[in-house]
Amino acid sequence: MKIALCDNNQRDMGNIERTIQLHTSQQYEFDFFTNGEKLIRQLAEKEATYNIYFISIELTEMDGVALAKQIRAFDLEALIIFVAEDIQRMPEVFKVQAFDYLLKPIDQNSLLETIDRANNYFNAIHAYFEFSFNRKLVVLSMSEIVYIVKSGRVAYIHTTEKVYKTYLTMVEIIDKLNKDTFARIHGSYLVNLNYIIEIAKNEVFVKQFEEDIQQEKSLSLPMSRTFKEELKDKYVHFLKTRKS
């Protein structure tokens, strides 16, 4: 998850980064900006996109609310969190769909609570996988997707009930999926960690769902050396998280 911090005070930005890094298990990437113009320039040139923005209301040259309005021209989905010296401009931030408004000096517990709510929000919106095929919108619960395989221009989405097709690219599919429960095992394959039965030398066995099968069967999917170690680490972490 990528976070942009924009504040004239570099110490304040550093404090936010350290608190999040030290007290959360989620992996974050941080970019720092001391003025809004540079941030907008990066967005306009498509050099970066962000999930969360921390913006100081008291920015010089371009104030925080004006910056947020420009960000919304590029991105309607990212979360914008304002930081400010007082509550004077709080009524204005709702016009740009602000996620939160934190007062300086930022209380550690308040910051971590905001980040926790942000993570819950992103988990909720990524609980469903949406795509179109033949001009029809399909919405699937991610929990029913077993694996996805890309063949040429078509991606085949294998669920517990049936197989769907989409022309989404692999990059677009990965971007839509929950990163905690899906893993790439091959250049053309993605698998739901919930359905893995065994990770072998060059293959991954997942639960197979077919009509008239009275007992659980497994299906072998190819695994490339490129993704093997990453898959093992991710699967171990997944199992530990599920048990905790």
Set out the domains of the chain in order of their start, with CATH numbers.
Answer: 2-125 (3.40.50.2300), 128-243 (2.40.50.1020)
Which residues are paired to 81 by β-bridges? Answer: 54, 100
Band of pLDDT at residue 243, cut at 50, 70 and 90: low
pLDDT score at 212: 43
pLDDT score at 6: 98
236: its two tokens = 């171990």
pLDDT digits (tens, 9 = 90+) for 119-148: 888 876 668 898 988 888 898 988 899 999
Q: Are 192 and 147 in contact (CB under 8 A)?
A: yes
Report the share of the chain in percent with pLDDT over 70. 94
222: its two tokens = 């190819």
Collect all residues with Cβ–Cβ distance below 8 Å to 130 and sequence separation of at least 6: 137, 138, 139, 140, 176
Band of pLDDT at residue 215, cut at 50, 70 and 90: very low
Which residues are paired to 204 by β-bridges? Answer: 199, 221
Higher pLDDT, 125 or 177: 177
Most confident of 78-92, 110-124, 214-228: 78-92
Band of pLDDT at residue 211, cut at 50, 70 and 90: low
The whole-angstrom separation of Cα 124 and Cα 53 is 19
Q: Are 4 and 52 in contact (CB under 8 A)?
A: yes
pLDDT digits (tens, 9 = 90+) for 52-95: 999 999 998 899 999 999 999 888 779 999 999 999 999 999 88
Band of pLDDT at residue 214, cut at 50, 70 and 90: very low
Q: Could you give the 3-state DSSP secondary structure of residue 27? A: coil
pLDDT greater than 50 at residue 149:
yes
The whole-angstrom separation of Cα 174 and Cα 158 is 15
